[in-house]
Structure 1
Amino acid sequence: MMALVYFERQSKTVSANAGNNLRLLAKKNGVQIYHGIDKLLNCRGNGLCGTCMVEVFPAKPEFVSPPTAMEEKKLKNYNNPNLRLACQVKVHGPMRVKTYPVELYASSTTSAPPVTL
């Protein structure tokens, strides 16, 4: 089954096969999910660093894999059920993805006010 994945910040829609990994799908299609130094310093898709945090909005809940234990641990301090680690997400249907929610990432790493793009 083919599914369309819309990357909101990039205004880009790509096709995915059921079970595709969201991080690899983004990389394959030139969609940047890392920002700043995280482009170089990340765990390469092992769910350890949290730098591939995205917001996922599936058309239906079953169109995205359930959160892994690693995701639940990394994202437990955020009050947003749509936050996921792209490296842990399996695509099973159409969805909209908001890459690098900078306002959330910044608020977790500094006491400076959040920046929105």
Structure 2
Amino acid sequence: MPQVIAQGQTIECSPKTNLRSCLLRNGIELYNGGAKVINCRGIGTCGTCAVYIEGEVNQPNWKDKARRSLPPHSPTRELRLACQTQVLGDLKVTKYDGFWGQGSQVVWTPKG
């Protein structure tokens, strides 16, 4: 079973589990500020669940690529939308600041 390390927790999940679902189900604060209330609930249109991932995940799908190509995101930044990401192996997840998680300051790291 893959292990996801995020915000000081180590979570086991089944292969191909949706990363957003895995994080939220385990009490991880995935959204910054008002994005906790105003987000697309996992359909890949808002971009507020953007995270930096180290580890094995699926290739970005068209929704992930399309949303991250629009401001305030940048297609050259190595972020992924948690809602469009499948866990394929062990992961370390980092969340950045900004409403869309696009900022430069770390909100939380794998260790906490």
Output the TM-score relative to the length of structure 1.
0.79
Give the superposed CA RMSD: 1.6
Q: 2:97 aligns with which of 87, 98, 102?
A: 102
Give the structure with the larger helix fraction: 1
Following TM superposition, by how much is the alpha carbon of 1:86 offset from its aligned partner in structure 2, in angstroms?
Answer: 0.3
Amino acid at match of 1:88: Q
Runs of at least 5 residues in structure 1 that lack an aligned partner in the other structure:
107-113
Larger RCO, structures 1/2 (Cα 8 Å, 6+ apart):
2
Following TM superposition, by how much is the alpha carbon of 1:102 offset from its aligned partner in structure 2, in angstroms?
Answer: 1.1
Q: Residue 29 of structure 2 corresponds to which residue in structure 1? A: 32
Where does structure 1 differ by over 3 angstroms across 4 or more consecutive aligned residues?
A: 114-117
Provide the rounded CA distance (Å) in 1 between the counterparts of 2:29 and 2:92.
Answer: 15
Q: Does 1:50 align with 2:51?
A: no
Q: 1:64 aligns with which of 47, 57, 66?
A: 57
Q: 1:88 aligns with which of 84, 88, 92?
A: 84
Output the TM-score relative to the length of structure 2.
0.82
State the percentage of identical aligned residues. Answer: 33
Alignment deviations for residues 62-101 of structure 1 (CA, whole Å, 9 cap, x no partner)? x2011011111121324223x10000000011010112x1
Q: Does 1:74 align with 2:67?
A: yes
Runs of at least 5 residues in structure 2 that lack an aligned partner in the other structure:
108-112
Q: Which has the larger radius of gyration?
A: 1
Provide the rounded CA distance (Å) in 2 between the counterparts of 1:38 and 1:96.
Answer: 22
